[in-house]
Chain A
Amino acid sequence: MLSWLPYAVAGWIFLVGCYGLVTSRHLVHTVVCLNVVQSSTYLLLLAVGWTRGGTAPIFADIGRSRSVTDPVVQAMTLTDIVVGAAVTALLLALTVQIAKRRGTVDPRALRSFEQESEE
């Protein structure tokens, strides 16, 4: 069962995040949902790199012949997290701008790029 469970959980997290994105009524909530979607990719990458009985690929205190998980996908996950944090910061800054300029953070009230005054 463990062989497909990580993929299933990754898919589930992805779909839950997408549902949140679609139904979001607040831009900060939208950004957090995007983070949830992205965290499914962390799980997928780590699942691909998992080795049954393997330990962390850090050889400071284990023998060279120990079975370890794949360090390549772990490094990619690290890149994924850093880029995700950068994107989140930018999106939140844009949210602050939108709140100031449009007076709303509800994505449904932001239909066009023009300044709306009836909000």
Chain B
Amino acid sequence: MRTRLTLVLAGAALLVLAVVGVHAVSELPAAGDVPHPYGARAVAAAFGHATANAVMSVTLDQRGFDTLGEELVLLAAAVGTVLLLRELAAETREKTEHGYGPEDVFEALRLVGYVLLPVTLLVGGYIVLHGHLSPGGGFQGGTVLATGLYLAYLAADYRALDRLRPPGVLDATEGLGAFAYVAIGVSGLLAGSGFLADWLPHGTLGKPLSAGTVPLLNLAVGVEVGSAFVLVVGKFLEQALLAPDDVPEEG
């Protein structure tokens, strides 16, 4: 009875939303054929600072302050997740034996994991460091780096992952990444330009050393995102592996 009421109410609300949505969209200019005044100015500004990747120029140069907020959201979420799951890990660790993850992995999968681990780390580093030149940047590269580390878990087990991930180091680098972002921002103040201003020499468009502070900010973001990702996924993995008896474990 109650579920039916929920469904009817939700259906009515979604119907209203759909009608309003269609009305709102019908007033929007047709996609693809409109001029983009902000886009054109952002591209011109990216050329002005010799940043080949205009998206990264917007993210880390023109909207650098917004991205600082985004960084701090990520930091807060990572800290919150780790805190929420830490207490539980302590609870369950006493009760049960540790599981260490996939034991009956196919040999071929193991091999692929070992081969892909260094390649993935290399690609992640490349994506972070070339964020101002090619598609990518700190957020994307950091995620790839963290994923690479989890290949070690898939190829071997949790202990191998633990060896690659010394305790305390990632907690430190995560905070350090966020701190470096702010420090680069403050360096703009000290140089007399303004907070998060792109004050370093801009170099030539398309060269590895160009775009001023953008590659440095990308590096800071990459370190933070990678550390946060590894920490958070690690906490979830601990939950699954150190689970008490009532939760079915997956082989």
Chain A contact residues, CB within 8 Å of chain B = 2-8, 11, 14-15, 18-19, 22-23, 47-52, 56-61, 64, 68-75, 78-79, 81-83, 85-87, 89-90, 92-94, 96-97, 99-100, 108
- The reply on B63 being an interface residue by CB < 8 A is yes
> Is the Cβ of B25 less than 8 Å from the Cβ of A18?
no
Main DSSP-derived SS at the B contact region: helix
Q: A18-B10, A60-B134, A96-B88 are in contact. Are A89 and B81 (CB under 8 A)?
A: yes
Mark the stretch among B30-38, B96-104, B163-171, B194-202 that contacts chain A: B30-38
Count contacts on B: residues with CB < 8 A to the other chain.
58
Closest to A46 in B: B31
Closest to B25 in A: A7
> Is the Cβ of A22 less than 8 Å from the Cβ of B6?
yes
CA separation between A31 and B53, bound complex, in Å?
33
Q: How far is the CB of A63 from chain B (nearest CB, A)?
A: 12
Q: A18-B10, A89-B78, A89-B232 are in contact. Are A79 and B39 (CB under 8 A)?
A: no
CB neighbors of A among B191-242 (8 A): 205-206, 225, 232, 235-236, 239
Q: Return chain B residues, CB-CB under 8 Å to A58.
A: 52-55, 133-135
CA separation between A99 and B85, bound complex, in Å?
12
Mark the stretch among B13-21, B112-120, B154-162, B177-185 that contacts chain A: B13-21
Known: A58-B53, A59-B54, A79-B70. 13 other contacts (CB 8 A): A6-B31, A11-B22, A56-B135, A59-B205, A71-B39, A71-B58, A72-B38, A78-B59, A79-B67, A82-B139, A83-B73, A89-B81, A99-B247
Q: Return chain A residues, CB-CB under 8 Å to B46.
A: 57, 59, 71
The number of A-B residue pairs with CB atoms under 8 Å apart is 153
CA separation between A71 and B44, bound complex, in Å?
11
Q: Return chain B residues, CB-CB under 8 Å to A93.
A: 80-81, 84-85, 235-236
Q: A90-B81, A96-B88 are in contact. Are A7 and B28 (CB under 8 A)?
A: yes
> Is the Cβ of A86 less than 8 Å from the Cβ of B73?
yes
Q: Return chain A residues, CB-CB under 8 Å to B91.
A: 100
Q: How far is the CB of B123 from chain A (nearest CB, A)?
A: 17
CA separation between A3 and B26, bound complex, in Å?
11
**What are some 8 contacts across the A-B interface (CB < 8 A)?**
A2-B32, A51-B39, A52-B32, A59-B54, A72-B58, A75-B58, A79-B70, A90-B81
Q: Return chain A residues, CB-CB under 8 Å to B205.
A: 59
- The reply on B126 being an interface residue by CB < 8 A is no
Q: A7-B31, A49-B39 are in contact. Are A59 and B47 (CB under 8 A)?
A: yes
> Is the Cβ of B80 less than 8 Å from the Cβ of A68?
no
Main DSSP-derived SS at the A contact region: helix
Q: A59-B52, A79-B66, A79-B70 are in contact. Are A96 and B36 (CB under 8 A)?
A: no
Q: Return chain A residues, CB-CB under 8 Å to B134.
A: 58, 60
Closest to B139 in A: A82
Q: Return chain B residues, CB-CB under 8 Å to A18.
A: 10, 14, 17
Q: Return chain B residues, CB-CB under 8 Å to A6.
A: 31
Q: A7-B25, A58-B135 are in contact. Are A96 and B85 (CB under 8 A)?
A: yes
